[in-house]
Structure 1
Amino acid sequence: MHHLTRYPHHVGPLLAALLLAGCASEPASQGDTRKPGSAAITGPAITKPAALPKAKTPRAPASMQSRIVLLLPARTVDRNGWAQDIVTALAKQDLAVTDENVCSVLAVVEQESTFQADPVVPGLGKIAWQEINARAAKLLIPEFVVRTALGIKSPTGKSYAERIDKLRTEREMSEIFEDMISMVPMGKTLFGNLNPVHTGGPMQVSIAFAEANTRGYPYPVKDSIRHEVFSRRGGIWFGTRHLFGYPADYPDTLYRFADFNAGWYASRNAAFQAAVSRLSGKPLALDGDLVRYDSDLPGKTEQAVYTLASRVNMSKQAIHQSLRKGNTAEFAQADLYHRVFTLADKQAGKRQPRAILPGIQLKSPKITRNLTTAWFAKRVDDREQRCVRQMATIR
């Protein structure tokens, strides 16, 4: 499952659809026309009653590492290394090394990669060729010309075509495109300077997110942050930052898992959209995207809020400026946010939820089932709860 990224500069023109099978992501964007790299949106939003606060008991790193080792599947390669990387990611980011936080990271890793640092993607070579040929067709470059160009020998000694045919992981694909962009005669024509592989590693984190969040990274960078993301240590570090690196007053970790897939604050923003829809009478895609990033025109959510302008006592310009903060913590402090929920609570006769699971249908060449952000969040949440129960049995 791949994260629906909301990072404005995260998306490239080629193979964007490939990236939806894992899952990373970042800050949020708008309703009817999602930011490039996000999934198509359909399906109902789902709420979850607030859970009782979980007991959080910090443990010594060495003690926690031994506990993690006992939880990891026996087939996991280098269980001690996994445990050390997870504890380091939490401790060095000033996050409590608790059973709950460790299990949240473990649950995402298990869902995204089943504890493989560089997970295999079935049929990746075929998907890559389809996207390469589609890109070439848009540029009016015949397929045989592309095949001829990629028939030249690459730095590994094999032709690029041979390497693409045998692609197994996103790391391999990223390395191939790095070579092709710099060495194949039409590499830059086809791909510009942009490597089209946007996510990777054991938590399927966005490379753009990692590149923008390097502060405090505790490991030496051998080649690039991109390469670090594909490593176990880097993938866990940046995935942990994506999961916990923003303040969110959610009643349950379930909503962080949804945000991990759909973008920071998607669950909060989807609840805001639900309130706007109730007040305006206009159906909205509860996707967490409050404004459009592909156009200066207002999207459906913004248009719906405009109909409430007199009721919230705000101008369209002020509304727009508030909605532009939808990918930040500050939006929850904005007058627009509070006025909309005050009206919605009053109309409903009870407090409306401040977080719901976004109604997003995931679509990608690598997804063959009917999967949603809600499915992803609940799947990870189940794993996390099971992990916490298992942790409690370890003395």
Structure 2
Amino acid sequence: MKQRRLLAAWTLAATLAGCATTGPLESRPSPTLPPAPGSPTPRAPADIDRPRPVSPAPAPIGTAPTPPAPPPIPSAQDGRALIARFLPPGVSDREGWATDLHTAFTALHLSLTPDTICAAVAVIEQESSFQADPAVPGLPKIVWRELEARRQRYHLPRLMLDAALLAPSPDGRSYRARIDALRTEKQMSALFEEMISEFPQGKTLFADYNPVRTGGPMQVSIAFAQDQIREKPYPYPRRGSVRDEVFTRRGGVYFGVAILLDYPAPYSRLLYRFADFNAGRYSSRNAAFQNAVARLSGQALTPDGDLLRYRDGAPSSEPSATYSALSTLGGRLGLSPAEIARDLRLEKTSQFAQTPLYIRIFTLADSLDGRRQPREILPEIDLKSPKIQRKLTTAWFAERVDARHRTCLGRDRSFAP
């Protein structure tokens, strides 16, 4: 029995590893979040996508100007009521969603404005249609298709595979029956966690190999959530692991709002934050940097927002295409290879835009034809996942969420753009 369970676990682990879904950060892993101290104070996202108010007339000479009054901070009740006004019609438990969103904004000290509320609402709509644990259509078929591909790759006899999957799992059902009943990523994650704890030496064999890397109503990367909880206090009492919290509505909303809004990014439109949500923080800024490097070096670069190669969330020693292109510009930049590498390692932080490398690249690029080059563009990334049945891109995701954001603002006509 133990041997059958081990074979089933090994086979299912190999199979499910190919079924990891594409979420906000999964396909674009980022290193550990930079420390909060010393980071520039983020401009409230509410200021990004709204028309600028007309400046008041200057005060008479000799008169000290009166500083503008800070916007009033709504009470918890008023804040929840404001959020509820922007939720889509037909959402179940509107009060619960409004409460979880309000808690996330409050815990992260984010401005509660129509723009920021609708940014979070638009992502939830896109990722889960306001379902705390959204179903993945055809999930058993996806698993079986990948299982057969893995069986062929490892030359396993079909009879051996079938026999292994008939072994009983901890709940009494066979692994075959469990796979056939899968509907959500939470269920698939729980099945894998059971294998880790149930099988002999399961922790040794399968620790850190749970294939479900995103989850919850905003499809948050579990790796991001684990980083986030080390950086800032979690506003709820923990009921289990961080992974378990991601699959709850409250946890999924908190981590989703954090990755979307809780970082400084001087973008002209929220569109680029939506792209970052899908591709990784600062991917839109970094894609523009790659575009400038390509123009200066004459080397073709795909502006995907990753300036370095990564392995397991850490920079790899293998040179990236962007680094190789920059190496040809070292003399014009007045930077050594070590200095270029030093600055590139800040690519996932706000500080990268203040590095000598970033400043000199754009100084040279702007001087090519006397035009200021864009500091933000949509990354060119094809989204790949077993559950994606057609060609989708990060640009598609960002534009789709941006359209939902505009629709959300229109739910309260006083805030419609």
TM, length-normalised to structure 2: 0.80
* Inter-partner Cα distance in structure 2 for 1:26 and 1:128: 19
CA RMSD in angstroms comes to 2.7
Does residue 1:88 correspond to 2:103, yes or no?
A: yes
1:143 CA drift (Å): 4.3
Shift of the 108–249 alpha-carbon distance from structure 1 to 2, 3 Å rule, reads same
Shift of the 80–364 alpha-carbon distance from structure 1 to 2, 3 Å rule, reads same
1:106 CA drift (Å): 0.3
1:16 CA drift (Å): 5.2
Contact 1:24 1:204 in 2 (8 A): no
The C-alpha deviation readout for 1:321-380, integer Å capped at 9, x for no partner, is 211211111111110000000000000311111111001111222112221101101111
Matches within 5 A, 1:120-135: 120-135=135-150
Does residue 1:157 correspond to 2:158, yes or no?
A: no
* Inter-partner Cα distance in structure 1 for 2:260 and 2:336: 35
1:202 CA drift (Å): 0.2
Does residue 1:179 correspond to 2:194, yes or no?
A: yes
2:94 matched residue in structure 1: 79
Shift of the 209–172 alpha-carbon distance from structure 1 to 2, 3 Å rule, reads same
Higher relative contact order (CA 8 A, sep 6+): 1
The C-alpha deviation readout for 1:261-286, integer Å capped at 9, x for no partner, is 00011001000000000101111000
Contact 1:270 1:287 in 2 (8 A): yes
* Inter-partner Cα distance in structure 1 for 2:17 and 2:355: 33
Of residues 261, 268, 284, the one that matches 1:244 is 261
Equivalent AA in structure 1 for residue 19 of structure 2: L
* Inter-partner Cα distance in structure 1 for 2:326 and 2:281: 21
Equivalent AA in structure 2 for residue 182 of structure 1: S
Contact 2:110 2:262 in 1 (8 A): no
Shift of the 347–254 alpha-carbon distance from structure 1 to 2, 3 Å rule, reads same
Does residue 1:224 correspond to 2:241, yes or no?
A: yes
1:203 matched residue in structure 2: 218
Contact 1:109 1:203 in 2 (8 A): yes
Matches within 5 A, 1:289-328: 289-294=306-311, 295-328=316-349
1:366 matched residue in structure 2: 387
Shift of the 348–368 alpha-carbon distance from structure 1 to 2, 3 Å rule, reads farther
Bigger-Rg structure (1/2) = 2
TM, length-normalised to structure 1: 0.84
* Inter-partner Cα distance in structure 1 for 2:297 and 2:234: 45
The C-alpha deviation readout for 1:218-248, integer Å capped at 9, x for no partner, is 1111111101100100000000111112211
SS at match of 2:382: coil
Does residue 1:274 correspond to 2:274, yes or no?
A: no
Contact 1:255 1:355 in 2 (8 A): yes
Q: Which moved more, 1:264-273 or 1:176-185?
A: 176-185
2:8 matched residue in structure 1: none
1:148 matched residue in structure 2: 163
Does residue 1:285 correspond to 2:286, yes or no?
A: no
Does residue 1:118 correspond to 2:119, yes or no?
A: no
* Inter-partner Cα distance in structure 2 for 1:19 and 1:58: 41
Shift of the 372–387 alpha-carbon distance from structure 1 to 2, 3 Å rule, reads same
State the percentage of identical aligned residues: 51
Contact 2:122 2:405 in 1 (8 A): yes
Of residues 352, 358, 371, the one that matches 1:331 is 352
2:373 matched residue in structure 1: 352
Of residues 18, 43, 64, the one that matches 2:79 is 64
* Inter-partner Cα distance in structure 1 for 2:391 and 2:52: 32
* Inter-partner Cα distance in structure 1 for 2:72 and 2:380: 34
Shift of the 24–301 alpha-carbon distance from structure 1 to 2, 3 Å rule, reads closer
* Inter-partner Cα distance in structure 2 for 1:374 and 1:177: 33
* Inter-partner Cα distance in structure 1 for 2:262 and 2:283: 15
1:388 CA drift (Å): 1.6
Does residue 1:23 correspond to 2:19, yes or no?
A: no
The C-alpha deviation readout for 1:190-234, integer Å capped at 9, x for no partner, is 745521100000000001111111122111111111011001000
1:173 CA drift (Å): 0.4
Does residue 1:103 correspond to 2:118, yes or no?
A: yes
* Inter-partner Cα distance in structure 2 for 1:222 and 1:326: 35
